[in-house]
Amino acid sequence: MKELLHKLLFEDVDIPSMPEIATKILAALEDKHSSVHKIANLVLKDQSLTANILRIANTPYYQTGKHVTKINDAIMSLGMHNLIPLISIIMLRQQLMSKTIDNELLEHSCKVSIISSLLATEVDIKKEEALIAGLLHDVGILIIFFNAPSTYNALKLKVQTDKIAFVQAENEILGGDHCHIGSLLAKKWNFPPIYDYVIKHHHDTDVSEGKLTYEDKLCYLVRVADHIVFEAGIGIGQSYEKNLPRLLSVLRIGKETYDSAVGKIQEIDCIA
């Protein structure tokens, strides 16, 4: 187990490489002189990527209000800066498509992303950033699944037997967790730092006493959404959140808003 821990937690972890077309798009996105038109032409070279970007831009949880049919419009409404993590998650899921992915895991991330985006405007967070942060927050678990399916199954069994949080089982069995592993992926795939922050800190137990930074707020928002989704029984194991009242208080999320988000969970038609 120690060997696996080392493999998972240190630099030799087998984090999948970015497919060639995605590498080209991401390079173009990093060039500040690239136009939407240039990015759109690159995206159009990959049919599945095009379909996925259009689908995400048309989810009711994005605020556009009109049906988007052109990739240029979809890129504009999602925001160029959000394409890096979005393309990354689409590509990662395509790479994992050949394996049988645990639906429980996908549904959990999808619902956390939607609940985060529903609550985003209440806490002055951009909806699309909340959506992406929610989609990505548990990406480290996908890496464990990808690298070591038997360890993933052992963790899942421990979580169910001991009725604990997944992150607790990871720390007991591996001595490290998916937050650290996910952060390695975020760095390797050049996610904007704000998403790396959420991936790395979404199971922290403390809540800042001082003035909140934007990234703290986004991270706390995802912690709240993660808790709501676990409490609805969607996800592997239990919520690890120990500080919910304090989180709600610093985010200024009232009981009515919180209860309304809880009430919506079952009616969310997940895109996963």
Measured distance CA(140)–CA(218) in Å, rounded: 18
Terminal CA-to-CA distance of the chain, rounded, Å?
A: 32
**116-124, 133-141, 183-191, 255-263 -> range binding Fe ion (CB under 5 A):** 133-141
Q: Tell me how far, at minimum, the Cβ of 42 lies from Fe ion, in Å.
A: 32
Q: Binders of Fe ion: how many residues, by CB under 5 A?
A: 2
Q: Tell me how far, at minimum, the Cβ of 263 lies from Fe ion, in Å.
A: 20
Q: Which is nearer to Fe ion, 95 or 238 (CB)?
A: 238
Q: Dihedral, CA atoms, 222, 102, 232, 123, nearest 10 degrees?
A: 10
Question: What amino acid occupies position 197?
Answer: Y
**12-20, 24-32, 98-106, 138-146 -> range binding Fe ion (CB under 5 A):** 138-146
Q: Which of 163, 117, 109 is nearest to 137 (CA)?
A: 109
Q: Which residues contact 231 (CB under 8 A, 6 or more apart)?
A: 239, 262
Q: Dihedral, CA atoms, 170, 245, 111, 184, nearest 10 degrees?
A: -40
Question: What amino acid occupies position 47?
Answer: Q
The yes or no reply on residue 138 touching Fe ion (CB under 5 A) is yes
Q: Which is nearer to Fe ion, 46 or 138 (CB)?
A: 138
Six-digit token string for 169: 């089982």
Q: Tell me how far, at minimum, the Cβ of 255 lies from Fe ion, in Å.
A: 23
Q: Which is nearer to Fe ion, 128 or 138 (CB)?
A: 138
Asked whether the beta carbons of 191 and 85 are under 8 A apart, the reply is yes
DSSP, res 237: B
Q: Which is nearer to Fe ion, 73 or 107 (CB)?
A: 107
Q: Which is nearer to Fe ion, 138 or 216 (CB)?
A: 138
Q: Tell me how far, at minimum, the Cβ of 105 lies from Fe ion, in Å.
A: 9
Asked whether the beta carbons of 242 and 83 are under 8 A apart, the reply is no
Q: Tell me how far, at minimum, the Cβ of 54 lies from Fe ion, in Å.
A: 26
Q: Which is nearer to Fe ion, 26 or 165 (CB)?
A: 165
Between residue 195 and residue 234, which ones bind Fe ion under the rule CB under 5 A? 226
**24-32, 65-73, 131-139, 262-270 -> range binding Fe ion (CB under 5 A):** 131-139
The yes or no reply on residue 170 touching Fe ion (CB under 5 A) is no
* 96-100 LR contacts (CB < 8 Å, sep 24+): 96/142, 96/145, 96/146, 99/145, 99/146, 99/149
Q: Tell me how far, at minimum, the Cβ of 38 lies from Fe ion, in Å.
A: 35
Q: Which is nearer to Fe ion, 98 or 266 (CB)?
A: 266
Q: Tell me how far, at minimum, the Cβ of 212 lies from Fe ion, in Å.
A: 21
Binding site residues, Fe ion, CB under 5 A: 138, 226
